[in-house]
Structure 1
Amino acid sequence: MQSTVSQLDPRTARLLPWIVAIAFFMQTLDGTILNTALPSMAADLAEDPLRMQSVVIAYMLTVALLIPASGWIADRFGTRRIFFGAIALFSLGSLLCALSTSLPMLVGARIVQGLGGALMMPVGRLVVLRAYPRSELVRIMSFITLPGLLGPLIGPSLGGWLVVVASWHWIFLINLPVGLLGCWAALRHMPDLRGPSRSRFDTPGFLLFGAAMLLITVALEGLGELHLPTMRVTLLLLGGLACLAAYWLRAARIEQPLFAPRLFHTRSFAVGIIGNLFARLGSGALPFLTPLLLQLALGYSPAQAGMSLIPLALAAMAVKPLAKPLIDRLGYRRILTSNTLLLGALIASLALVDGQTSTLQLIVQLSLIGACNSLQFTAMNTVTLIDLDNRDASSGNGLLSVVVQLAMGLGVASAAALLGGFSREFSGDEQILRAFQATYLCVGLLSMLAAAIFLQLDPADGRRARPLDVPPED
């Protein structure tokens, strides 16, 4: 039976958004603090810095695999128990990351972190949706997402500073006191909500969908870090596509699939999901590539590299309030088509960065990318969900969450594969720099192709629904 805010005591109603916000901050901080530390971690673990993408992808893929099950798990075992367990798992994974002495150990610890991360935010949002009336939802969600914007702002610079003054281990150890506070607050103040009815979990669908994502991601990894033969990569890719096809064929004939095919009968949802998948390849690659470019090719220190990414986050925060007026005035089709082309061109423009590039030019480029990214995320997320009816809203939001994580993981894997390939192709004193420049150019051009997907929107799509509520994904 669903609870409302009137059934919560005033203290819990006041503290609940803070508890969920703490979890969101931990997750976004961890996602951005790591990138500037990758070269130092590689040196300490005796690994090639260009082969460290598995540390990022392991977390993203674990989150993407488990998000579809998060709602059912919370309904089955209760939100308090699952939310507490999610924070505890995330904190345990952070401790194991700090204790890792090899790349395989670190990847395993990141998977443990991902198990917690996959449940932390979806369950937190689910509690808010069930505990507060609709009239309060936009205000509460806006409050919860604010720490998510602070994470990318302070993460890169904090990570670079910690590497310089201490060691890379502290980028994980810093999660422990926050995690302890979150565990205590969850046990004390998190309401124990469950779904109105227990439905059967679509286990075969979950396994088929998860296998598809895993095989496709490993296939892309095989082109990069794993250096798998072309035949094995082809088999993995075909196997993943076969699992995905089997999932959708099965979903079309059962009553309660993991994600119902009828979602794609709504054109704005179909365009938004497919557009998210391809448009985010560039955005997903950017946080992985840029700290490596600055440190490996341009000689920046970890602290300098982290500070250089602050304009990107500041511009993203500054543009957020402008997203709704722009979308209301121009419509989703115009905004997404033009902004996708502009964002791809800006990512490709980083191919012009070299040793002679001034700090001012770099700040301007990254600021423009941050502003376009912010508008892109808001428009893509909203157009995906805005035309869905209440029956499909939860399932559609779950699939969107999966696609966001998957696209970011694929972006890192694709960028790493391109970077590794170009590194072997080029030679000479500026081999690494030229490899980065070619990778940025390719990633930017691939991102621009997503504009053709958004052209399939009707000018009226998204305007017939209720007033714009920005989903709290980015």
Structure 2
Amino acid sequence: MTATMTTRRRSSTAVAVLVAGTYFMELLDGTILATAAPAMGRDLGVDPAAVGVTITAYLVTLAVFIPVSGWLTDRIGSRTVFASAIALFTVASALCALSTGLVDLTIWRIVQGLGGALMVPVGRLVVLRSAGRDQLVTAIAILTWPALAAPIIAPFVGGVLVDTVGWHWIFLINLPLGVVAFVAALVLVPQERAPERVPFDWFGSVLACLGLGALVVMASLLALDRVPIVAVVVAGVVGAVCCWSAVRHFRRAAHPIMGLDAFRLETFRISHAGGSLFRLAVSAVPFVLPLLFQDAWGWSAVLAGSAVLWVFVGNLGIKPMTTPFLRWFGYRAVIIVATSVAALTVVAMAFMTEDTPFWLLAVLLVVSGAARSVGFTAYNTIAFADVEQQDMTPANTLSSTLQQTAAGFGVAVAAVVLRAAAGLGASGPYQVTFWVIAVLLAVACLEGLLMSRTAGETVRPARRVRA
């Protein structure tokens, strides 16, 4: 290996770690507020349920502004946009902590969401451009861990912070992290722009923003305890019509804000069809488990949050084996096994009761976490296996948008099923929800069975040859 290749690999890994850190901050702030809502409601003088508007505002802003990230990067430059997004996210975090009312907190959460919408997609684009096919699996594996870790540890971290130092520290912990990330971005991230300046797709952007924003609002409304039916229907119709119109526009526009050409590639299609079902399903599990433990089994919030951490143990424990699995067996086999194991563990969760031995519960959650980790890495890596460098910006923008939307709908789907099955006793609704999640994973597994055996071979880790 030449010195140049070694330097490039180290630089790519360093940037990937930096982007993963910012991704973790974004995801943590998107999920941690649910735990702190009661304390925040008391302090701000509002009903705890009203704090949900700040969560929705953050998630809607993320979804709405992600499509713009690719165009800004090509026009202004990757380092400028990425560092500015980190600064905006960090400053907004401080202002959230200083908020004295629900209105100003919501405003600063929107600003924070804008920073997150630019920060992560742009950072991931830098990693994809710098890694090269030989380092893509390693880079994506690093970028994947925040999506696995944040939803699992957020309830526990949020509970500890609220009980010990107050809800303000949910935002204040971002300040030192943001400062370090900002300095690292200026040092590590290259300043890359597109060689050709293209006009901004105003019409497509408006359609995409309205469509995605309406769908996320609909998902958030569906997750409420009392669903406003009229608002859900209006948001759903607006979202569907705008997204359909946006797709038609993107197919015809000369320079669309989101290109759809990547869907012609089998690997990209697999990552965002069955992969979206996989992401939706595994995003729902960390939402359902704490509710089961607390509402049906009567556990404390701390005990419930601690138990879910076993999923994180599985995530981390399997990480060193993810790349070897892809090297030995290939993407098709790994995706089939990961989705199958994930589905079986969720089915097993449907049979859990409060009398289930804790050690058995822990083993089940560890195995579930391992399947999540392997599946996430395989789906995320194969997405860009056949995408050429010149097409990376539109493919990354589209991928980021679809992943954000799929993850957001995971909680909504689980909440709807739980509500629909509410009359089945204490544990009945959770059992039905687990079965629905398992069916989604089974469909993803079916797509894996139908994919080509050679899919993803261009980025499959090379087998080591013994001398």
TM-score, normalised via structure 2 length? 0.82
Kindly indicate whether residue 451 of structure 2 is the aligned counterpart of residue 457 of structure 1: yes
**Matched residue of 2:363: which SS?**
helix
Return 19-28 or 383-392, whichever deviates more: 19-28
Q: 1:168 to 1:300 in 2, by over 3 A?
A: farther
Q: Which structure 2 segments of 5+ residues have no match? A: 463-467
Q: 1:368 to 1:44 in 2, by over 3 A?
A: farther
**Alignment correspondent of 1:77:** 76
Kindly indicate whether residue 423 of structure 2 is the aligned counterpart of residue 445 of structure 1: no
Task: Give the Å deviation of 1:372.
Answer: 0.6
**Matched residue of 2:208: which SS?**
helix
**Alignment correspondent of 1:178:** 177
Task: Give the Å deviation of 1:373.
Answer: 0.4
Tell me, in whole angstroms, the C-alpha distance in 2 between the residues paired with 1:438 and 1:140: 37
Task: Give the Å deviation of 1:235.
Answer: 4.5
Task: Give the Å deviation of 1:147.
Answer: 7.2
Q: 1:31 to 1:347 in 2, by over 3 A?
A: farther
> 1:255 corresponds to which letter in structure 2?
A
> 1:77 corresponds to which letter in structure 2?
I
Tell me, in whole angstroms, the C-alpha distance in 1 between the residues paired with 2:351 and 2:59: 29
Identity of aligned residues (%): 36
Return 108-117 or 125-134, whichever deviates more: 125-134
Aligned residues of 1:57 and 1:409 also touching (Cα < 8 A): no
Kindly indicate whether residue 168 of structure 2 is the aligned counterpart of residue 169 of structure 1: yes
Tell me, in whole angstroms, the C-alpha distance in 1 between the residues paired with 2:101 and 2:433: 28
Task: Give the Å deviation of 1:466.
Answer: 4.1
Tell me, in whole angstroms, the C-alpha distance in 1 between the residues paired with 2:141 and 2:338: 24
Question: RMSD between aligned alpha carbons?
Answer: 3.8
Aligned residues of 2:40 and 2:48 also touching (Cα < 8 A): no
Tell me, in whole angstroms, the C-alpha distance in 2 between the residues paired with 1:346 and 1:81: 44
**Alignment correspondent of 2:365:** 366
Aligned residues of 2:140 and 2:377 also touching (Cα < 8 A): no
**Alignment correspondent of 2:265:** 266
Task: Give the Å deviation of 1:202.
Answer: 1.8
Aligned residues of 1:23 and 1:121 also touching (Cα < 8 A): yes
Tell me, in whole angstroms, the C-alpha distance in 2 between the residues paired with 1:340 and 1:317: 18
Task: Give the Å deviation of 1:131.
Answer: 6.6
Q: Deviations over 1:388-440 (max 9, x none)?
A: 233333322221221111111011122223334444x356xx3xx44334333
Task: Give the Å deviation of 1:380.
Answer: 1.2
Kindly indicate whether residue 233 of structure 2 is the aligned counterpart of residue 239 of structure 1: no
Tell me, in whole angstroms, the C-alpha distance in 2 between the residues paired with 1:394 and 1:66: 15
**Alignment correspondent of 2:465:** none
Q: 1:83 to 1:388 in 2, by over 3 A?
A: closer
Aligned residues of 1:57 and 1:413 also touching (Cα < 8 A): no
Return 56-65 or 168-177, whichever deviates more: 56-65
**Matched residue of 1:252: which SS?**
helix
Q: Deviations over 1:176-198 (max 9, x none)?
A: 22223334555677654433232
Tell me, in whole angstroms, the C-alpha distance in 2 between the residues paired with 1:42 and 1:353: 34
Tell me, in whole angstroms, the C-alpha distance in 2 between the residues paired with 1:328 and 1:16: 24
**Alignment correspondent of 1:417:** 416
**Alignment correspondent of 1:123:** 122
Q: 1:377 to 1:265 in 2, by over 3 A?
A: same
Q: Deviations over 1:272-304 (max 9, x none)?
A: 211122221111222333333334443444433
**Matched residue of 2:453: which SS?**
coil
Tell me, in whole angstroms, the C-alpha distance in 1 between the residues paired with 2:126 and 2:270: 29
Aligned residues of 2:60 and 2:217 also touching (Cα < 8 A): no
> 1:460 corresponds to which letter in structure 2?
T
Q: Number of residue pairs matched? A: 456
Q: Deviations over 1:161-180 (max 9, x none)?
A: 22332323322221122223
Q: 1:209 to 1:324 in 2, by over 3 A?
A: same
Kindly indicate whether residue 248 of structure 2 is the aligned counterpart of residue 249 of structure 1: yes
**Matched residue of 1:225: which SS?**
coil
**Alignment correspondent of 1:472:** none
Task: Give the Å deviation of 1:248.
Answer: 2.0
Aligned residues of 1:60 and 1:408 also touching (Cα < 8 A): no
Kindly indicate whether residue 315 of structure 2 is the aligned counterpart of residue 316 of structure 1: yes
Q: Deviations over 1:100-152 (max 9, x none)?
A: 56666655443322111111123334445667887777777766777777756
Kindly indicate whether residue 397 of structure 2 is the aligned counterpart of residue 398 of structure 1: yes
Q: 1:111 to 1:366 in 2, by over 3 A?
A: farther
Q: Which structure 1 segments of 5+ residues have no match? A: 470-474
TM-score, normalised via structure 1 length? 0.81
Kindly indicate whether residue 97 of structure 2 is the aligned counterpart of residue 98 of structure 1: yes
Aligned residues of 2:74 and 2:193 also touching (Cα < 8 A): yes
Q: 1:447 to 1:47 in 2, by over 3 A?
A: farther
**Pairs within 5 Å for 1:27-426:** 27-31=26-30, 33-34=32-33, 36-37=35-36, 41=40, 47=47, 56-100=55-99, 106-128=105-127, 155-186=154-185, 192-225=191-224, 227=226, 230=229, 233-423=232-422, 425-426=423-424
Task: Give the Å deviation of 1:28.
Answer: 4.6
Tell me, in whole angstroms, the C-alpha distance in 2 between the residues paired with 1:445 and 1:14: 36
Tell me, in whole angstroms, the C-alpha distance in 1 between the residues paired with 2:22 and 2:134: 24
Tell me, in whole angstroms, the C-alpha distance in 1 between the residues paired with 2:53 and 2:428: 23
> 1:265 corresponds to which letter in structure 2?
R
> 1:206 corresponds to which letter in structure 2?
S
Tell me, in whole angstroms, the C-alpha distance in 1 between the residues paired with 2:86 and 2:57: 18
**Matched residue of 1:334: which SS?**
helix
Q: 1:175 to 1:117 in 2, by over 3 A?
A: same
**Matched residue of 1:455: which SS?**
helix
Return 71-80 or 15-24, whichever deviates more: 15-24
Tell me, in whole angstroms, the C-alpha distance in 2 between the residues paired with 1:162 and 1:92: 20
> 1:444 corresponds to which letter in structure 2?
A
Tell me, in whole angstroms, the C-alpha distance in 1 between the residues paired with 2:102 and 2:358: 33
**Matched residue of 1:59: which SS?**
helix
Q: 1:240 to 1:293 in 2, by over 3 A?
A: same
Q: Deviations over 1:195-215 (max 9, x none)?
A: 323221222112222222222
Tell me, in whole angstroms, the C-alpha distance in 2 between the residues paired with 1:303 and 1:178: 25
**Matched residue of 2:111: which SS?**
helix
Tell me, in whole angstroms, the C-alpha distance in 2 between the residues paired with 1:57 and 1:376: 28
**Pairs within 5 Å for 1:15-30:** 20=19, 22-30=21-29
> 1:356 corresponds to which letter in structure 2?
D
Task: Give the Å deviation of 1:71.
Answer: 2.4
